[in-house]
Amino acid sequence: MGEVPRWSDVPAQHGRRYVVTGASSGIGLEIARALAARGARVTLAVRDVAKGERVAAQLSGDVEVRLLDVSDLASVRAFAEATGEIDVLVNNAGVLGVPYSRSVDGFELHLATNHLGHFALADLLLPRITDRVVVVSSRSHLSGELDVDDLLWERRRYQPYAAYAASKLANMLFLAELQRRLTAAGSTLRVTGAHPGSTVTQITAHTGSPVKTLVGRYGHPLVGMPATRGALPILYAATMDVPGNTYIGPHGLSELRGWPTAVRRSRRALDPDLAKALWARSEELTGVGFPL
């Protein structure tokens, strides 16, 4: 294999509109910053509008801030109803390793935030998307196991990091199944996926575990990439001419660091029957289905 090119040159994005969820900090903010700097019109879809406005004031380019809590289906529907035509939806917002809690809709919070809200948002916006949906997953999906009959952790002993890995596996299955449905419907829309490797952000700051929070705060910067670098695989998946169902991550050892390239996915992530079963259960839980 040849050396992976050191890609960081986001193509010009003039005339294109993006929605980026979770764009008030971390990777989402760096995605929005890079897209706006290259001429895109970017909507920062955030839970905390005041915080979003503060960071938006520091960005150059055409940006707007709008309220979106992807863990709340009413918020998802309201956001979708007020959104016009866009080119790209970047499903980036997420939580990691949080103590057991339920969303306002009664769903386990990892599944609600990382999968179900984004599932509903993409399906609701699909008729107004002109180019692609970008699914932000994680290398943690490699260890993820998904019990479709107990997605909400009602019968099993709750394990925060297992719940996170399961939600990231759900992202991968959604990526594949949405692309399959689009292709079968004759649509030219595409779905791409990406993960940021080991990137230093605040996502580990709310685990409820003092030890894990300290490790994330002080240990992660020793091995992780800055958010500007971690954003590159997602930017590549969002802006480059790659086929649907492409999955991008860092090229280095264990996909922890490096430059954007196509990366592996788990055997479970490639299971079409599991993807279809998850889709059916997600439709049942959200009340939102494939619109095309």
User: Would you name the residues annotated as active-site residues?
Assistant: 164
Instruction: Give the ranges where 185-271 is alpha helix by DSSP (H).
Output: 210-214, 220-223, 227-230, 232-239
Find residue 65's DSSP bridge partners. Answer: 44
**What is the CA angle 127-129-132, rounded to 5?**
125
Q: Is 238 helix (H, G, I), strand (E, B) or coil?
A: helix
Q: Is 230 helix (H, G, I), strand (E, B) or coil?
A: helix
Instruction: Give the ranges where the chain is alpha helix by DSSP (H).
Output: 26-37, 49-56, 73-81, 109-110, 117-125, 160-184, 210-214, 220-223, 227-230, 232-239, 272-286
Q: Classify residue 261 as exposed, middle or buried by CB count within 10 Å of its CB (0-12, 13-18, 19+).
A: middle
CA distance 226 to 230: 6
Q: Closest by alpha carbon to 165, among 148, 145, 150, 195?
A: 145
Q: Is 194 helix (H, G, I), strand (E, B) or coil?
A: strand
Contact (CB, 8 A) for 172 and 137: yes
Residue 260: phi, psi to the nearest 5?
A: -60, 135
Q: Classify residue 255 as exposed, middle or buried by CB count within 10 Å of its CB (0-12, 13-18, 19+).
A: buried
